[in-house]
Amino acid sequence: MRSIVGEIVSGAKEVTVMDMEASIEHMSRGTVKHADVMLVVLEPYYRSLETAGRIVPLARGLGIQRIYGIANKLRSPQDDEAVRTYCGNHDLELIAAIPYDENVVEADRTGRAVIDYDVTSAIVQELTVVAERLGREISAEGNGVGGKPNV
């Protein structure tokens, strides 16, 4: 099973970040199978966690070793707790917990990237930690930008 994006990702020399289709039903396995790392965005709501509950086993089934959770739009300690409990119960490592960030809305309203709108935004700060970690993992892979061998 192949997809155009999958073939491009497979052969790309760069670090690639794929913003995947929202619906798990339509998520192309031919694309996802090339991922070294899957980041699953979790909102502290039942339907978001339920979606994650279907994505994660699929990704594991495709042999993706590194699957990390990123909690987003947390508005309270209860939200934080809900996501942490979910991840604990599902053996999913949570690598960032991003609070609800009004800067995202404002940046979007003015047609700007949030990193350009306000680099001190909570979302940028949290994702800086993720980028540092992935940067270390890329270095540890030892072959430049790293990644699965091209097939």
Partner 1 sequence: MKIAVCGKGGSGKTTISATLTRLLARRGLPVLAIDGDPNPNLVQALGLGPGVEIESVPRSVVERREDENGASHMFLKQPVAEIVSQYGVKAPDGVTVLVGTRVDHPGAG
Query: Site residues for partner 1, window 40-69 (CB under 8 A)?
Result: 40-43, 47-48, 51-52, 55, 59, 64
Q: DSSP labels for 46-82? A: HHHHHHHHHHHHHHHHTT--EEEEEEEEE-SHHHHHH
Indicate the burial class of 63 (C-beta count within 10 angstroms; 0-12, 13-18, 19 or more): exposed
Q: How far apart are CA 82 and CA 146, in angstroms?
A: 34
CB-nearer residue toward partner 1: 28 or 94: 28
Instruction: Give yes or no for residue 15 binding partner 1 (CB under 8 A).
Output: yes
Strand-pair partners of 99: 74
Binding to partner 1 in span 65-124, by CB under 8 A: 70, 72-73, 98, 104, 108, 111-116, 123-124
CB-nearer residue toward partner 1: 15 or 88: 15
Contact pick of 28, 53, 80, 94 for partner 1 (by CB under 8 A): 28
Strand-pair partners of 68: 39, 93
Least distance between partner 1 and beta carbon 80 (Å): 16
By CB under 8 A, which span of 23-31, 77-85, 86-94 interacts with partner 1?
Answer: 23-31
Instruction: Give yes or no for residue 1 binding partner 1 (CB under 8 A).
Output: yes
Contact pick of 11, 57, 61, 88 for partner 1 (by CB under 8 A): 11
End-to-end CA distance of the chain: 13
Instruction: Give yes or no for residue 39 binding partner 1 (CB under 8 A).
Output: yes
Which residue type, as a one-letter code, is found at position 131? A
